[in-house]
């Protein structure tokens, strides 16, 4: 059986099982296969990408946790999705869907949106409905990870995805996330094209930024996952009290920017200037492991809006 004929068979059996709701035994009798053979064929159909299974978790919010966050940290808005016992990956998708809904209600013609990078933000772009807006600009506000990261979650890819959904122009920050030295970073930031992009980012109407941890864990720590920083550099930041990573800066528990070597060579908009000039700073993160990092960003008063899930918030409000 050639490849195309095999794929046709896989599709037909998958249709009988998933669409027509036939049992594996019924399909086997109809086509002359054993039930176990039908089971293997259905597995093969998934592996070949002929069948894609999507589970849509309900998007419910915890109004009590939202109210307590707003009151304690003086936020303009808080969106807390009930994530229950779901996996970290599913929690990121739920928070991404919530972020997309928030943006669809907030965006308008002529707006400039500054975009960070990471999985949660890429999920926002994925769930964002196409909008026929006019004169919208998307600006990358942190440098790129490049070949060390999935291009779908890296800054340029995320900015391009947002722009395609919003009928917008997008401006890429043509620089790596971390430079080798502070002098190299300062020199590059003074280059005309880089300086203009950073200035646009600082004065954006909405900044959407992920919140990362400072730890030796590629799943939760974007700066470690990037590969630009050695394990010892991360551990040194942890010993110094580093807890959260926001807009490329390392924050301690109180939300203060640590004066360390990592922050000095990070290519990103100036966080203090962003806070002073941006119309609305929005932070997004999911999962209980992000609780400490989220709390550090909240303690530093860096946010106007927080989009997160119940697992991340409960330890903060205990």
pLDDT in tens, 187-209: 999 999 999 999 999 999 999 99
Cβ neighbours of residue 217 closer than 8 Å, sequence gap 6 or more: 224, 289
Residue 150 belongs to a domain: yes
Low-confidence ranges of the chain (pLDDT < 50): none
For residues 135 and 208, state if they share a domain.
yes
Nearest residue to 140 via CA among 186, 107, 105, 176: 176
Q: Provide the CATH number for the domain around residue 200.
A: 3.40.50.1360
Residue 173 belongs to a domain: yes
Q: Provide the CATH number for the domain around residue 25.
A: 1.10.10
For residues 36 and 153, state if they share a domain.
no
Q: How many domains does the chain have?
A: 2
Q: Domain span at residue 285?
A: 63-317
Q: What local confidence, expressed as pLDDT, does residue 228 receive?
A: 66
**What are the φ and ψ backbone dihedral angles of 106, each rounded to 5 degrees?**
-105, -25
Q: What local confidence, expressed as pLDDT, does residue 205 receive?
A: 97
Half-sphere exposure of 77 (CA within 13 A, CB side): 15
CA–CA distance, 180 with 311 (Å, rounded to integer): 37
Residues 130-152: b if buried by 16+ CB within 10 A, e if exposed: eeeeeebbbbbbbbbbeeebeee
**CA 155 and chain centroid, separation:** 10
CA–CA distance, 41 with 69 (Å, rounded to integer): 50
Q: What local confidence, expressed as pLDDT, does residue 147 receive?
A: 57
Q: What local confidence, expressed as pLDDT, does residue 148 receive?
A: 59
For residues 26 and 106, state if they share a domain.
no
Angle, helix 119-127 to helix 155-166, in steps of 10 degrees: 20
Model's pTM, two decimal places?
Answer: 0.81
For residues 40 and 144, state if they share a domain.
no
Cβ neighbours of residue 251 closer than 8 Å, sequence gap 6 or more: 242, 243, 244, 245, 257, 258, 293, 296, 297, 300, 302
For residues 11 and 144, state if they share a domain.
no
């Amino acid at each position: 059986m050639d490849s195309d004929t095999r794929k046709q068979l896989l599709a037909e059996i998958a249709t009988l099982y998933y669409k027509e709701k036939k049992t594996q035994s019924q399909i086997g009798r109809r086509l002359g296969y054993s039930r176990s053979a039908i089971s293997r064929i259905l597995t093969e159909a998934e592996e070949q990408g002929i069948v894609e299974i999507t589970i849509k978790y309900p998007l419910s919010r915890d109004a009590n946790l939202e109210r307590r966050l707003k009151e304690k940290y003086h936020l303009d808005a808080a969106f807390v999705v009930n994530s229950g016992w779901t996996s970290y990956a599913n929690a990121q998708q739920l928070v991404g869907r919530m972020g997309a809904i928030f943006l669809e209600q907030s965006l308008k013609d002529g707006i400039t949106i500054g975009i960070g990078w990471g999985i949660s933000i890429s999920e926002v772009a994925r769930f964002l409905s196409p909008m026929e807006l006019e004169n919208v600009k998307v600006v990358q506000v942190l440098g790129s990870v490049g070949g060390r990261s999935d291009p779908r979650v890296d800054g340029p890819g995320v900015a391009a995805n947002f722009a395609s959904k919003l009928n917008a122009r997008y401006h890429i920050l043509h620089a790596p996330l971390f430079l080798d030295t502070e002098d190299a970073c300062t020199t590059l930031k003074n280059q005309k094209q880089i300086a203009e992009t950073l200035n646009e980012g600082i004065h954006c109407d909405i900044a959407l930024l992920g919140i990362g941890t400072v730890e030796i864990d590629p799943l939760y720590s974007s700066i470690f996952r990037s590969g630009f920083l050695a394990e010892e550099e991360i551990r040194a930041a942890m010993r110094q009290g580093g807890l959260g990573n926001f807009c490329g800066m390392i924050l301690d528990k109180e939300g203060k920017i640590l004066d360390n070597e990592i922050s000095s060579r990070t290519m990103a908009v100036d966080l203090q200037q962003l806070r002073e000039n941006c119309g609305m700073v929005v932070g997004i993160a999911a999962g209980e492991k992000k609780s400490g990092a989220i709390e550090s960003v909240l303690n530093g008063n860096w946010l106007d809006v927080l989009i997160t899930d119940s697992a991340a918030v409960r330890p903060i409000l205990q």
